[in-house]
Amino acid sequence: MHRQGTGLLPTRPPPAIKLGARPGCTGRPGVGEDQRVLVLLPPSEGKSSPVRGAPLDLGSLSFPELTATRECLLDALVALARHTPAKALTVLGLSPGQTEEVVRDANLDTAPTAPAGRIYSGVLYDALDLASLETGARRRAQRSVIISSALFGALRLGDRIPAYRLSAGTNLPGIATSSSLWRDPLAAAMSAAASKGLVVDLRSGSYASMWKPTGDVASRTVVVSVLQLMPDGSRKVVSHFNKATKGRLVRQWMVDGSDPRDADDLADACEQAGVIAELGPKPAKGLARKLDVIVSDL
């Protein structure tokens, strides 16, 4: 199926860590709550460090059943950065000029926090521009969006976290890779969060490997890829186009109040946002459907 638009729309303008689940204390949707459409986003390497704010309270985060795994990874990351900073540079894939990232990780237990939607500051989140959304659109984003995180597993936009450095696939000393460590905990949490509605998967490969929908959830999942149309007619993945387009699409869906029920509805929503959308054939039972979004410029 081929759906064609006219081009992407432009962007509009220290105490210790507290543990223990407190479901519902943040007023955000959590596991098991009926959610018609779920939008899965990757995090960003770029993060804004808040200058003030309460320290991290793991019990206040959405998906409290992930607390034990969050604590395990957090302890390992803080210990690595605090006690062996030179080794941390290598493990985290940092250059010698990025020691401030290690210092930041060493102090995660006392660092100020802010909502995840403000912490993540990369290209995708700049294009999404949550701060400028009107109240209704912002509430829709709070209900619909889940961010994958190598450190926290899954987050809602309003979950308060510190800025950190940890990428999916990182091998922290003494534990499995963050991606593999999350697979079992996320399997139950995300399947429950997906409820009965459409799942729109905009995650990048390393974060997609942390949780792969199966069964009924997979049959309601659409994996969206963004491709740039080159002058010679070929298509290729370009990181900046990919991230910016995903952010703008999610923003437009929230502004429009889009509520796609299936892959065809999602393709229509993409077309209404002004892009070319090509929906792949229906897959075998238990597999996600593919949707290619084609852009030629920003």
Backbone φ, ψ for residue 153 (5° rounding): 85, -70
- C-beta separation of 148 from 207 below 8 A: yes
Nearest to 224 by CA among 267, 194, 169: 267
Please tell me the total count of domains within the chain. 1
* Local confidence pLDDT in tens for the 298 residues of the chain: 444 443 444 333 333 333 333 333 333 444 334 457 999 999 999 999 999 999 999 999 999 999 999 999 999 999 999 999 999 999 999 999 999 999 999 999 999 999 999 999 999 999 999 999 999 999 999 999 999 999 999 999 999 999 999 999 999 998 878 888 999 999 999 999 998 899 999 999 899 999 999 999 999 999 999 999 888 888 888 888 899 999 999 999 999 998 899 999 999 999 998 899 999 999 999 999 999 999 987 6
Is the separation of the CB atoms in 24 and 61 below 8 Å? no
What single letter denotes the amino acid at residue 90? T
Measured distance CA(293)–CA(234) in Å, rounded: 14
CA 19 to chain centre: 23
Spatial CA neighbour of 58 closest among 41, 78, 40, 42: 78
- Angle ∠(257,298,155) on CA atoms, nearest 5: 50
pTM of the prediction? 0.87
Sequence-distant (6+) residues with CB within 8 A of 97 are none
The rounded distance, in Å, linking the Cα atoms of 79 and 90 is 15
Give the Cα separation of 142 and 174 in Å (integer). 35
- List, as one string, the DSSP characters of 15-78: PPPB-S--TTTT----TT---SEEEEE---S-B---SS-PPPBGGGSS-GGGHHHHHHHHHHHH
Domain assignment of residue 58, given as a range: 2-295
